[in-house]
Amino acid sequence: MSAPTVRVLYIDDEENNLNSFKASFRRQYEIYTAISAFEGLKILQSVSIQVIIADQKMPGLTGVEFFKSITETFPDPIRILLTGYTDVESLADAINHGDIYRYITKPWNDLELHNSIKNAYDAYKAKIDLRNKVSELEKTNDELNRFIYSISHELRAPLVSVIGVLNLVKMEDLYHSSGEYWSMIENCSNKLDYYIQKTLQYYKNNKTVSENTDIDFNTLTYDLLEVYSLADRETVFKIKIDQQHRFSGDAFRIEVILGNLISNAIKYQKEEETHKKVSIDIQVTQLEAEIIINDNGIGILNEHLERIFTQFFKSSTLSGSGLGLFIVKEALNKINGKITVSSDEINGTTFKINIPNAQSN
C-alpha cells in the first residue's frame, strides 16, 4: 500500500528558499509554495492543506500573525514556523496560543525539517481521527438515547394500565384481600414509573431547546404540590412566594427542577417525625428568581454533599435512582442557574436555587 500524499504549503518572501524547499522535498510530499501570506491564503482556500510552514520575518504579516489570522477559518492544518533570528517573545506567544506545532531555525537541516513534517502530519491525522471518533460516539450516543426514550415511552402505557387496575382494586375494597400481593405490585409499579419518568426527564432535558415563556411561580408551585403531595398527606407545606416582577424562563426545566426538589423533600422525611414540614420560599426580582426549599428530613451526610449531583450516586441513607439531583443540576446548567445545598441529620436539608430572569436580557 502506497504512503498517503501529504500536502505541504510553504510560505516565504524569498523565492530562493521556496525553490530550495521544493527541490528538496518534492519527491516525498505534494508541495505548494507562496511568496506572501496573501498568496498562501488563496492556496488554503482552494487546496486541503495538512501542514503549513511559514517564515516568521515576512513583509505585511509575520509568520506568527498569519497563523493567528487563520486559526478559526483553517483550524486543522498543523503549523511549523521557520525563523532566521531569535524572537523569544513572539515564539512564546505563538506556542501559548496554540498557533504553531514546532519552530525550526534557518537555514534548516533537511533531515530535521523532514522529521518535523512527518510528525506534524501524524498530529494532523490524530486530530482528524479524534474528531471522527467523537462524531461517531455522539451519533451512537444520540441513537442510544432515542432508543431508551422510545422504550421508556412504550413501557409507560402498560404500566399506567397496571396502576389503573390497582386503583380499581382499591375502589372495590379488595386491596387487602390477597395478603401483601397487591401492595407488592403497587410498590414495584411505582418504582418502575419513577425510573421511567426520570429517564424521560433526562432525555428531554438533553434534547429540548431552551424556550423562554412567562412563568407564574404561584401557579407552578401549587400545581406541583397537588401532584407530589399525594405521596405523603402528613407533610405540611409552608409556601411564601413574592413575585412582583414579570419572570421569563424555560418552563419545562424550571418545572423539572422544582418537581424533583419537592419530591425529594417529601420522600426523605424521617419516618418517626410527627411534624413533617417543607417550606418553599420564592423571591422574584427583575434579575432572577431565588428559590429556597427546606425540609426537616433525614438530611445528607457532609461527606456526600459534593457528590449528590453526580449521575447514579447513591448513599447508604438515600434510596432512589441517583438521577433526580443529577437532572436538577443538568437542567440548571442549561439555563445558567446555580444551586447550593446545606444539610445535617438534625435540621434537615436546604436547597437554594438562583435562576436568571430572561426578561432582563
pLDDT by residue for the chain (361 residues), tens only, comes to 455 689 999 999 999 999 999 999 999 999 999 999 999 999 999 999 999 999 988 888 888 889 989 988 999 999 998 887 656 666 666 666 657 888 888 888 999 999 999 999 999 999 999 999 999 998 888 887 778 778 877 887 888 888 888 888 888 888 888 788 888 888 888 778 877 877 777 777 777 777 899 999 999 999 998 888 766 778 889 999 999 999 999 999 999 999 999 988 888 888 787 888 999 999 999 999 999 999 988 888 777 787 888 876 666 555 556 678 888 999 999 999 999 999 988 888 999 999 999 986 6
Distance, in Å, from the CA atom of 102 to the CA atom of 121, rounded to the nearest integer, reads 12
Provide the pLDDT for residue 1. 43
Query: What does the block give as the cell for 275?
Result: 411534624
Distance, in Å, from the CA atom of 59 to the CA atom of 160, rounded to the nearest integer, reads 75
Provide the pLDDT for residue 88. 63
Q: Does domain 209-360 have CATH number 3.40.50.1000?
A: no
**Which run of H or of E encompasses 254?**
helix 251-267
Q: Phi and psi of 34, rounded to 5°?
A: -145, 140
Exposed e or buried b for every residue in 138-168, given b needs 16+ CB within 10 A?
eeeeeeeeeeebeebeeeeeeeeeebeebee
The single residue listed with the C-alpha cell 525550526 is 104
Provide the pLDDT for residue 86. 57
The model's pTM is: 0.57
Provide the pLDDT for residue 344. 84
Q: Which residues on adjacent β-strands are paired with residue 237? A: 278
Provide the pLDDT for residue 284. 96
Provide the pLDDT for residue 83. 82
Q: Which residues on adjacent β-strands are paired with residue 44? A: none
Is residue 343 within 8 Å of 307, Cβ to Cβ?
no
Query: What does the block give as the cell for 150?
Result: 422510545
Provide the pLDDT for residue 76. 93
Provide the pLDDT for residue 148. 77
Provide the pLDDT for residue 125. 94
Q: Does domain 7-108 have CATH number 1.10.1760.20?
A: no
Instruction: Cite the DSSP H helix spans in 272-348.
Output: 324-334
Instruction: List, for residues 269-327, the tens digit of each pLDDT value.
Output: 887 878 889 999 999 999 999 999 999 888 887 777 878 888 766 665 555 566 788 88
Percent of residues in the chain assigned helix, strand, coil, to nearest 5: 50, 20, 30
Longest dimension (CA), the chain: 99
Is residue 12 within 8 Å of 58, Cβ to Cβ?
yes
Where in the sequence of the chain do the CATH 3.30.565.10 domains occur?
Answer: 209-360
First vs last C-alpha separation in the chain: 59
> Whose CA is closest to 167, among 189, 196, 191, 195?
189
